[in-house]
Amino acid sequence: MKERVLSIRDLSISFKTNHGVVNAIRGIRFDLFKGETVAIVGESGSGKSVTVKAIMGILSSNGFINSGKIDFTYHRDDEVVKKDLVQLSKKEMRQHICGKRIAMVFQDPMTSLNPTMTIGEQVMEGMIHHYGTSRKEAFKKAVELLELVGITDAQKRMKSYPHQLSGGMRQRIVIAIALSCDPEILICDEPTTALDVTIQAKILQLIKDIQKKKNISVIYITHDLGVVAKVADYVAVMYAGKIIEKGSVDEIFYDPRHPYTWGLLSSMPDVNTVDEELYTIPGTPPNLLRQVPGDAFAPRNHYAMKIDYIEEPPMFNVGGKHRVSTWLAHEKAPKVSMPASLKQRIEKMKKEAE
């Protein structure tokens, strides 16, 4: 039996803005198991980052959680503790969870380090704060961490300032900071989008290695399906504040059911298929200021049905861990299958995988 570390149920989050209330997250549900990786995929504005900020309890001040639970299970010494993070106060979150149990790696390493503090200071800060580690010990551990994340000359780098390092190096530092308190969960918010392609692969490998070594669970946020394929065990596809399809990597990649997932997969650049035009999903994500009846994806959906404009689809169980929220999965819906070009693509992927 796998150990469930995090289970999110019916989470919904809104933001008060000058233009009205934005319903950024509209009832999502997913689980994270020990040592495994969940990737949350979606366009910008789909609510991926908001979801993880809610887990960390660092939503901006105009955001609030309407309903739902975020159950987090962790080990304190030999005791198993289960807490609903939604119910914890900001102070409790800071004292017991943030940085200590759940750590986060941010998108842009160029701006996520404090420019006026040395690397060492920033890596050591968390341990000293949470565990009261002595400076000497913290220094030693920080050097080890820097070595672990692949920084050469770690001793010397402790005294450097962020601007003296390259983007890739800085992201390694950010990862070292995240790991400094031995967290149960590591959240990576698009950790490679701001980096060079060559460095991307290295950082992904690094996170994977560390995950294996320390047996931590990872939530991966990305819009890049290529990254998902490399790192994830489970995938949740988000659109307009909802998870519209989720399942294991194989289920999502080899047997996608939602037209939006089809779109995402088709728009993935692929070196092998030169002759076809790169697919783009028409239109733009909906404005969450307004509540539109029916499926939020309908206006961009080539396979939209009448019902899509009337009623929001529920989650349909399509076998295994695979869930999809589209009326196409309904028994009365016409049998529509994915575009032929995508089918070919998937066949090819399957072959390569074997």
Tokens 């659109």 correspond to 239
Specify the stretch interacting with another protein by CB under 8 A; choose among 126-134, 224-232, 238-246, 267-275.
126-134
Residue number, 235 or 240, with CB nearest to another protein: 240
88 touching another protein, by CB under 8 A: no
135 touching another protein, by CB under 8 A: no
156 touching another protein, by CB under 8 A: no
The residues pairing with 8 across neighbouring beta strands, listed in sequence order, are 30, 70
* Residue type at position 150: G
123 vs 129: CA distance, rounded Å: 11
Determine which residue in the list 5, 38, 98, 148 makes contact with another protein, applying CB under 8 A: 98
* Residue type at position 331: E
Using CA atoms, how far residue 321 sits from 31, 100, 121, in Å, is 11, 31, 44
DSSP one-letter code for 219: E
Q: Write down the least CB distance from residue 351 to another protein, Å.
A: 31
Residue number, 138 or 235, with CB nearest to another protein: 138
Q: Write down the least CB distance from residue 285 to another protein, Å.
A: 9
28 touching another protein, by CB under 8 A: no
Contacts to another protein from residues 185-204, by CB under 8 A? none
Determine which residue in the list 25, 103, 235, 238 makes contact with another protein, applying CB under 8 A: 103
Tokens 């704060």 correspond to 129
How many of the other CB atoms lie within 10 Å of CB of 36?
18
Q: Which two tokens stand for residue 90?
A: 């900001």
What lies within 8 Å, CB to CB, of 333 at 6+ separation is 305, 327
Q: Write down the least CB distance from residue 64 to another protein, Å.
A: 16
* Residue type at position 255: D
Specify the stretch interacting with another protein by CB under 8 A; choose among 8-16, 32-40, 110-118, 212-220.
110-118
Determine which residue in the list 282, 291, 350, 353 makes contact with another protein, applying CB under 8 A: 282
Using CA atoms, how far residue 267 sits from 136, 148, 244, in Å, is 51, 36, 18
230 vs 238: CA distance, rounded Å: 19
Residues lying near another protein in the complex (CB under 8 A): 18-19, 56, 58, 91, 93-95, 97-100, 103-104, 106-108, 111-117, 125-126, 129-130, 161, 163-164, 174, 177, 282-284, 286-287, 289-290, 298-307, 309-311, 314, 327, 330, 332-334, 336
